[in-house]
Amino acid sequence: MALNALEQEALAALDLSRPQPLRLTDHLGLLRASSVVLFLILWEVFGRRVNPLFLSYPTAIANACAQLLASGEFQRQALGSLQVYAVGLGAALVLGIFLGLLMGRYRLAEYLLDPYVYALDATPRVALIPLLLLWFGLGAQAKIAVVFLSGIFPVLMNTFSGVRTVSSGLVDIGKAYGAGERQVFTKIILPAALPFIMAGVRLAVGRALIGIITAEMFTAVTGMGALLIRYSSAFATDKFFVPVIFLALLGVLLSVAVEALQKRLAPWKETERAL
């Protein structure tokens, strides 16, 4: 369709061949990247000028990272931390889900246990660390206890509220078709509560990571937290950043992994509840 004269005039006035003015909002990815690069450059320049005891700079950190990885010291401590973390978190998940199911399904269990659960959940777990160290010593046991206590409550509370929201219609139908208590648990309640449980697991993973770092920093004998304390008391700031970066990556990795697991295991409901 041919354009009429007026339209052609308007088109000419628009002058589409003219280069569009550069708009920053069209290049947000570029802006992000340049923001990071600028930050790193400023850090490098500024960091080289100040006393290396207080602030390091990116290239020094990269050096320290290579050095620590080559000596194998870092891997050994990281592995130690991860083992403790896995044991503590595993115990927290198993017991948290078990107690949550029990408390959600049986009134008696709920009333018997909820005073302790609420009281312990309200107490900041870090405050318990000195006491746990007193009881369990400076070894792996105390750290496992800290990780366990940090991780159990999000799982327990979420499982509990997940079980409570399972519609009684579902359970009634199951019963009407002759399902035993065991089958009601494994075939109805557990699948229905799974999205909640996974949301709790996601919270627990993060909390337990904080728990183990704090515990290791406090005991300062082995693990990532001990490295943090050791390097900071030695004013080895460049080395100090290596475990910090590792922990940040670990945190991201764990939460991505749990999210993927959540999508696989409980794709039917994306609700989450952070209690």
Partner 1 sequence: MAASLNNDDIIEELKLRREPAWSLSDHPNLIRAASVTVFLALWEIYGRRTDPLLLTYPTAVLRAALQLIWSGELLRQLLVSLASLAAGFGASLVLGVGLGLMMGRSRLAEAALEPHVNGLYATPQVALTPLLMMWFGLGFSVKVVIIFLFAFFPILINTASGVKNVSASMVEVGRAYMASERQVLLKVVFPAALPFIMAGVRLAVGRGLVGMIVAELFTAITGLGAMLTLYGNLFETAKMFVVIIVLGLLGVGLIQATQWLERRMARWKETERAVS
Question: Where on the chain is the footprint of partner 1 (CB under 8 A)?
Answer: 24-25, 28-29, 31-32, 35-36, 39, 53-54, 107-108, 110-116, 119, 122-124, 126-131, 133-135, 202-203, 206, 209-210, 213-214, 217-218, 224-225, 228-229, 231-233, 235, 237, 240, 243-244, 247-248, 251-252, 255, 274
Return the number of the residue (17 or 168) whose C-beta is nearest partner 1: 168
Q: What is the smallest separation between the CB atom of 158 and partner 1, expressed in angstroms?
A: 12
Return the number of the residue (116 or 177) whose C-beta is nearest partner 1: 116
Q: Where are the alpha helices (DSSP H) in the chain?
A: 5-14, 28-49, 58-71, 73-105, 107-122, 129-136, 140-165, 168-176, 181-183, 190-219, 224-233, 237-265
Token match 């075939």: residue? 187
Q: What is the smallest separation between the CB atom of 20 and partner 1, expressed in angstroms?
A: 18
237 burial via Cβ count (<10 Å: 0-12, 13-18, 19+): buried
Q: What is the smallest separation between the CB atom of 57 and partner 1, expressed in angstroms?
A: 14
Q: What is the smallest separation between the CB atom of 92 and partner 1, expressed in angstroms?
A: 17
Return the number of the residue (98 or 235) whose C-beta is nearest partner 1: 235
Among 42, 65, 46, 68, smallest CA distance to 55 is for 46
Return the number of the residue (109 or 191) whose C-beta is nearest partner 1: 109
Return the number of the residue (25 or 168) whose C-beta is nearest partner 1: 25
d(CA 184, CA 143): 37
Q: What is the smallest separation between the CB atom of 36 and partner 1, expressed in angstroms?
A: 5
d(CA 129, CA 145): 9
Under a CB-based contact definition with an 8 Å cutoff, are residues 214 and 129 in contact? yes
Return the number of the residue (115 or 178) whose C-beta is nearest partner 1: 115
Q: What is the smallest separation between the CB atom of 212 and partner 1, expressed in angstroms?
A: 9
**If you count them, how many residues does the chain have?**
275
- DSSP letters for 50-66: S-TTT---HHHHHHHHH
